[in-house]
Amino acid sequence: MKIPYYVVHSFTSRIFSGNPGGVCPLESWLPDEVMQQIAFENDLAETAFFCHEDSNLRLRWFAPKAEVDLCGHATLAAAFVLYECLGYMESSVTFQTRSGPLTVVRDGSRLAMDFPILAMTPVPVSSDLAAGLGISPVQTFESMDLVAVFEDESQVASIQPDLDLFQRIPGRGVLVTAPGKTSDYVLRCFGPKVGIPEDPATGSAQSMLAPYWSGRLGKPELTVRQLSSRGGQMFCNVKDNRVNIAGQAALYLNGHISIQGLGS
């Protein structure tokens, strides 16, 4: 069986930066264990699979070790493949997902995603978190990820995490964030529990961080930089209990995955 496969670098205008996301358009769903094996073999932060179900287009995301509830860069990558590689002509596309319907709109050279706001609950700084980061944040919150807020961009940039300690921390992963010097805020994202030591550019994180920084800075429109080695840039707008997350993308690879003995 041959499965179409694309790699798109999201939240960047050029390859070799941003976040690589795998995309597999399907005519019918593969067994879950096969999609998980493909994601593990690809060893990207996420591989997206989408397939038509009746009149809907369903999208699922698999990290190397687990299916995840929400992923920004692979959603952007899937929309990019539809528009740039598969001839999709509508001005927007809506994916049905585990986090509800997610709409992506063409906005000039950018693709803009409509994501839900994820509430954050203040919690004390745990000893595992402080030890894992090597520095204690000024605030922490629980949400889909554990969020650690710092005072300065340089603190976020300098963190050398102990990923083994992060395995004991509740949530999908650990987000660290601070006010930015050339952007409204910066972040880094660590997800060893799902097989992602450090994510290069994390769209789903903005469902938590953009509302926080919008309230703290008193502005709905925000510029975002991710301080990974590859880097990433996002543009967020917080409105009506939703977050609009926009960015560019670039095609790196297209081809096929060949799995003998699976279908035709």
Q: Which residues are catalytic?
A: 46
* Cβ-contact 145, 71 below 8 angstroms: no
CA angle 158, 128, 174 (to 5 degrees): 55
Nearest to 134 by CA among 210, 190, 201, 203: 190
What is the rounded distance in angstroms from the CA atom of residue 1 to the CA atom of residue 256?
9
In this structure, the strands spanning 221-226 and 185-191 are parallel
Q: How far apart are CA 227 and CA 191, in angstroms?
A: 15
Q: How many helices (H) and strands (E) does the chain have?
A: 6, 18
| Adjacent-strand bridge partners of 221 | 237
Two structure tokens written together for 5:
């496969």
Which helix (H) or strand (E) segment holds residue 246: the answer is: strand 242-247
Burial 84-100 (b: 16+ CB within 10 A, else e): eeeeeeeeebebebebe
Residue where the block lists tokens 């309230």: 215
